[in-house]
A = this chain, B = another copy of it.
Amino acid sequence: MKAEIITIGDEILIGQIIDTNSGWIAKQLLQFEVDIVQMTSIPDTEEAISTTLKEASARADLILITGGLGPTKDDVTKKTAAAYFGTTLIRDEHVLRHVTNIFESRNLKMLDINLQQADVLANCEVLFNDYGTAPGMLVHQNQKKFIFMPGVPFEMKFLMEKHVLPLLAKQDPDLFICHETILVGGIGESYLAEEIKDIESELPSSIKLAYLPTLAFIRLRLSGKSRNKSDIMLQVALFKTKLLHRLQQYVIADYDTSIEPYLIKELGRRGATLTTAESCTGGSLAASITAVAGSSAIFLGGTIPYSNALKQQLLNVKEETLIQYGAVSEQTAIEMASGSKKAFSSDYAIATTGIAGPGGGTIEKPVGTIWVAVAGKKEILTKKFQFNNERLINIERTRMNALLLLWKLLVKEKEQDT
């Protein structure tokens, strides 16, 4: 089945918000026999909406539309869709009661535009939205399915999980799809491709290999599709084994994960705890760890000693060190990591210090000069980076490389233990 995802909203086309819905939907569809042929973002205009519905229905069998149903905007999307399908809008009593209840429970005044949220396409199946006022709508036309959902991410996600995914699960129950993923780190994409190009060229047409890189890690995903379940599982497992063997020194995990949950799980397995001491990453490292549910099992907490005074007060970084080597130095990074570990009694600690930019650089330490230190059971690993001029990218690269360094320390400790 071919699918297209359409996002409606001027705010996307003027760059005010980034469409994250399409990516989330795409991930959910991976488990089904659905190929996404296009993602399209269009403005809240009748012309764009009707043209895109038409073009998408020529390309795809399943058209998922998000956005354009907000209280200040639903007029045009629903009206245009009604005209496109040759139908009208009717007020749904069930939805109206739900909308009224939401407003009453919050002691909010109900406005006219809120009443309109209960209007739905007369030819649709209403997909009831427990989490918000705009209902989803499913329309069947010419063997195509059109699914309209609100753009608010958690409402859209609720509708997908409650209504859309169960619907897809019923299609083609004979086809078997399997994925196997490997997380690697410390190797660039083109080197990785070179390293495994012979294995890649052996892949049968029923198995695809995808490179999914971030700034310091790459997920390699094998996807097999076949009606012969045991055969495709065996083949995918075989190629996975080949990749794992070839990439040994870079393999972080042999299952689908990203670095943060992997490290949390690995520390948890060892009964170990972690703290963070972030200067240049300013909290983003801890935020990425605590974004993972269950992280509190290993993460005791962290500090963001932005000023030198706080580096001393919170982590016992020595004044002499700051004077002699500066805040951005290997020595300071080491004292931050060991200070964090000691002060907060954790088994591991990660420290970052650097000049994220765009200001603050010197000739000796230009913008993008970063030191990372990771303190473990016995030793402290450090690494210097020289990045570019872009603050947010420097922060993100530092964050990821700090996690990579923690992984390297864990591997080293494991090797020493055995």
Confirm or deny: A23 has a beta carbon within 8 angstroms of a beta carbon on chain B.
yes
**A287 and B283 alpha carbons, distance in the complex (Å):** 5
**Contact flag A27-B15 (CB < 8 Å), given A72-B190, A282-B291:** yes
Q: Does B38 lie within 8 Å of A41, measured CB to CB?
A: yes
Residue of B213, B293, B391 near A391 (CB, 8 A) is B293
Q: Does chain B have a CB within 8 A of A68? A: no
- A255: interface (CB < 8 Å): no
* Bound CA–CA A252/B344 (angstroms): 39
Cβ contact within 8 Å between B284 and A11: no
- Report the separation of the CA atoms of residues A395 and B295 in the bound assembly, to the nearest whole angstrom: 14
CB atoms of B303 and A302 under 8 A apart: yes
Stretch in A85-93, A141-149, A306-314, A373-381 touching the partner: A306-314
**Within 8 Å of chain B (Cβ to Cβ): is A55?**
yes
| B13, A26: Cβ atoms closer than 8 Å | yes
CB-based contact B303/A303 at 8 Å: yes
- Report B-chain residues with C-beta under 8 Å of the C-beta of A193: 71-72, 113
Q: Are A23 and B12 in contact (CB under 8 A)?
A: yes
Enumerate chain B residues within 8 angstroms of A281, measured Cβ to Cβ: 287, 290
Q: CA separation between A396 and B287, bound complex, in Å?
A: 11
- CB contacts (< 8 Å) of A23 on chain B: these are 12, 15-19
A411 interfacial contact with B, CB 8 Å: no
- Is B11 a contact partner of A15 (Cβ separation < 8 A)? no
Q: Does A285 contact B (CB under 8 A)?
A: yes
Contacts of A313 in B (CB 8 A): 343-344
Complex contacts, A13 vs chain B, CB 8 Å: 26, 36-39
Would you call B296 and A307 a contact (CB within 8 A)?
yes
- B310 and A306 contact, CB distance less than 8 A: no
A388: nearest chain-B partner, CB-CB: B154
- Separation in Å of the A381 CB from the closest CB of chain B? 21
How distant is the Cα of A29 from the Cα of B15 in the complex, in angstroms? 9
Give the B-binding residues of A (Cβ under 8 A). Answer: 10-20, 22-30, 36-43, 48, 52, 55, 70-72, 111, 113-114, 131, 153-154, 157, 189-191, 193-194, 210-214, 219, 276, 278, 281-287, 289-291, 293-296, 299-307, 309-310, 313-314, 343-344, 356-359, 388, 390-393, 395
